[in-house]
C-alpha cells in the first residue's frame, strides 16, 4: 500500500508539474525590449531581408506599407507595448489580424497592425500588456507589422491596409521601424550639457560675485577690486569702490574659475508653451504644447513637464504631467470647467534650475443653447422662450439676455432685449422668459456676459415666425 501511495503521489506531482508548464502565462516567455524599449513583434529586430517599408511588389504592381518579420509557424507574436485592441479579425486577408492602439512616451498615440497571426482571446476593447503574447505566427511564416499614427482611421477607412497601388498615396501609414525608433516607449531622463554663455579673461585670480541685468560682476584677488561686463559683450568697467551693487543672482549662471579667467554656464532651461484655445467651448478640450531646451537649444529628453492651475495666481495645483520627447517637445490635454490661471513648470532632478512657462488666463465659454421653444407664435400674444445653460447658475439669477431682431427691408434690425430667469435642472440651468412680439419675421439668440468663471458667450440664432 505504501508503494502504491508513493507512486500515486509521484504521478500527481508529475501531472501538476506538466500542467504548470502548460498553463504558464505566455508573458513568461523570454523576450526583452529592443530599440526604444519596444517589445518587437517577433522578439527580434533582425528581419532577415523580408519585405520592408515601401518595397515594390512587381507581381501586383504595389508598394508595401509595412514591415514583414519572418518567423516559424507557431512562434509567439508579442505586443510591442501596453495598448487597447481596436480590431480583432480572424481573416481580413491576413488569416488573423489585430489592430492595437498604443502610446509612445511622448504621448503620441498610434495604431499598430499585427497580421498573419493566430490570435489569442483578444476581442475589441481588450487591454494588452507590453511583451504579452497576443497570437502565434500562421502559415505565412511572418508577421505583417504596420503603423498608422493617431486614433483616427486612415482616409480610406481601411484599418488593415498593407500596400498601395499609387506610389504617392500612403493613406497616412508610415515606416513602422523608423516610427518606433523615433518615438520610444520609455524615455530615460537625459539633460543636455550646461551651455557656456560667456568666457571672461582676467589679469589675476577671479572671484565671481553674481549676475544682474544681463551683466556679470567679479572681483580680483588680492586687491578685491570689483569689475562688471555684459554677459554677451566684451566691455569691462570697474565698479567704483563703495558703490552700491545691484541685487545679484548667484544661482542661474554657474561659474568655473581658472587662474586668470572664468566661464559662465546657464542653468535656466527655456520652457515654451502654446495653447490651442484660450476660450474653449464648454466640455471641449484644449492642448498645451511646447518644448523644453537649454539656452543653447539642446533638448531635455524624458523630462517631466507639469501643467498647473490657480484661482488666485498664488496657490498652484497640478493638473497633469507629461514627458518630453527626443526633441524636447511635449503636449498636455485638458478640459477646463471654469476660468483659471495656467502655467507649465519643469523641476529638474539636478544641475539645472526650475523653469516656468508664461502664465496665461484661460476662460471657457459657458454651454449656452439657442432658444428652442417655439418656431411660430401669434402676434402680441405672450409665449415662453427658453433654453439651457451649462454649467448651472444660481436659480433666479438674471445671467442670460435674449436679443431679438426683426427682418425689415432686406436686413435684420435690432428689436428688444430681455433678461431671463433661471431654473436649476440637475447640472444645467433652464433659462426662460415670456415675450410678446408683433407680426413679422423674427430671430432670437441668448447671450451671457463674461464673469469670474466663464468667457462671454453667445448662442446661435433661432428663427420665429409671428402671425
State pLDDT tens for residues 258-276. 999 999 999 999 999 999 9
Tens digits of per-residue pLDDT, 390-404?
888 888 888 899 999
Looking up cell 507574436 gives: 77
| Residue 414: per-residue pLDDT | 95
**Cβ contacts of residue 93 below 8 Å, gap of 6+?**
160
Which three three-digit cell numbers place residue 194? 550646461
Tens digits of per-residue pLDDT, 3-48?
444 433 334 343 333 333 333 333 444 588 998 899 999 999 999 8
Q: How sure is the predictor about 373, in pLDDT bands with cuts at 50, 70 and 90?
A: low
CB 399 within 8 A of CB 393: yes
Q: Indicate the range of 286-295, 393-402, 408-417 predicted with least confidence.
A: 393-402
Integer Cα distance of 142 and 148 in angstroms: 20
| Residue 374: per-residue pLDDT | 66
Tens digits of per-residue pLDDT, 53-84?
999 999 899 999 999 999 999 999 999 999 99
Domains of the chain by start residue, with CATH: 27-182 (2.70.70.10), 196-266 (no CATH), 270-362 (2.60.40.10), 367-466 (2.60.40.10)
Q: Is residue 334 classed as helix, strand or coil in its secondary structure? A: strand
Q: Is residue 178 classed as helix, strand or coil in its secondary structure? A: helix
Amino acid at each position: 500500500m505504501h508503494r502504491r501511495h508513493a507512486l500515486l503521489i509521484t504521478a500527481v506531482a508529475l501531472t501538476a508539474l506538466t500542467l504548470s508548464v502548460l498553463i504558464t502565462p505566455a508573458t513568461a516567455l523570454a523576450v526583452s525590449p529592443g530599440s526604444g524599449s519596444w517589445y518587437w513583434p517577433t522578439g527580434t529586430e533582425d528581419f532577415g531581408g523580408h519585405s520592408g517599408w515601401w518595397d515594390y511588389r512587381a507581381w501586383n504592381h504595389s508598394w508595401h506599407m509595412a514591415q514583414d518579420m519572418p518567423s516559424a509557424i507557431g512562434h509567439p507574436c508579442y505586443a510591442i507595448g501596453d495598448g487597447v485592441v481596436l480590431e480583432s479579425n480572424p481573416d481580413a486577408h491576413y488569416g488573423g489580424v489585430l489592430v492595437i492602439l498604443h502610446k509612445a512616451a511622448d504621448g503620441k498615440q498610434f495604431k499598430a497592425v499585427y497580421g498573419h497571426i493566430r490570435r489569442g482571446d483578444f476581442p475589441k476593447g481588450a487591454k494588452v500588456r507590453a511583451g504579452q503574447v497576443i497570437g502565434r505566427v500562421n502559415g505565412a511564416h511572418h508577421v505583417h507589422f504596420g503603423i498608422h499614427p493617431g486614433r483616427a482611421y486612415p482616409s480610406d477607412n481601411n484599418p488593415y491596409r498593407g500596400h498601395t497601388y499609387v506610389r504617392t498615396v500612403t493613406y497616412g501609414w508610415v515606416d513602422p521601424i523608423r516610427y518606433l525608433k523615433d518615438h520610444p516607449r520609455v524615455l530615460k531622463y537625459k539633460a543636455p550639457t550646461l551651455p557656456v554663455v560667456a568666457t571672461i579673461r582676467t589679469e589675476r585670480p577671479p572671484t565671481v560675485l553674481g549676475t544682474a541685468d544681463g551683466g556679470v560682476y567679479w572681483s580680483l584677488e588680492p586687491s578685491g577690486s570689483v569689475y562688471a561686463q555684459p554677459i554677451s559683450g566684451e566691455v569691462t568697467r570697474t565698479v567704483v569702490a563703495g558703490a552700491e551693487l545691484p541685487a545679484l543672482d548667484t544661482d542661474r549662471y554657474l561659474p568655473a574659475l581658472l587662474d586668470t579667467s572664468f566661464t559662465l554656464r546657464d542653468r535656466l532651461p527655456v520652457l515654451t508653451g502654446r495653447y490651442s484655445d484660450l476660450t474653449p467651448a464648454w466640455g471641449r478640450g484644449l492642448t498645451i504644447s511646447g518644448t523644453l531646451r537649454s539656452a543653447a537649444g539642446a533638448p531635455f529628453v524624458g523630462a517631466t513637464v507639469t501643467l498647473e492651475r490657480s484661482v488666485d495666481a498664488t496657490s498652484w495645483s497640478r493638473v497633469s504631467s507629461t514627458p518630453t520627447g527626443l526633441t524636447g517637445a511635449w503636449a498636455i490635454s485638458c478640459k477646463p470647467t471654469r476660468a483659471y490661471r495656467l502655467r507649465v513648470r519643469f523641476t529638474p532632478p539636478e544641475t539645472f534650475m526650475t523653469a516656468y512657462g508664461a502664465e496665461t488666463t484661460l476662460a471657457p465659454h459657458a454651454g449656452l443653447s439657442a432658444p428652442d421653444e417655439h418656431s411660430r407664435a401669434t402676434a402680441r400674444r405672450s409665449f415662453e422662450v427658453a433654453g439651457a445653460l451649462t454649467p448651472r447658475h444660481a436659480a433666479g439669477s438674471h445671467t442670460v439676455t435674449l436679443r431679438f431682431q426683426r427682418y425689415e427691408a432686406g436686413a435684420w434690425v435690432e428689436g428688444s432685449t430681455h433678461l431671463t430667469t433661471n431654473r436649476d435642472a440637475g447640472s444645467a440651468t433652464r433659462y426662460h422668459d415670456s415675450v410678446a412680439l408683433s407680426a413679422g419675421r423674427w430671430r432670437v439668440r441668448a447671450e451671457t456676459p463674461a464673469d469670474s468663471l466663464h468667457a462671454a458667450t453667445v448662442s446661435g440664432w433661432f428663427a420665429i415666425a409671428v402671425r
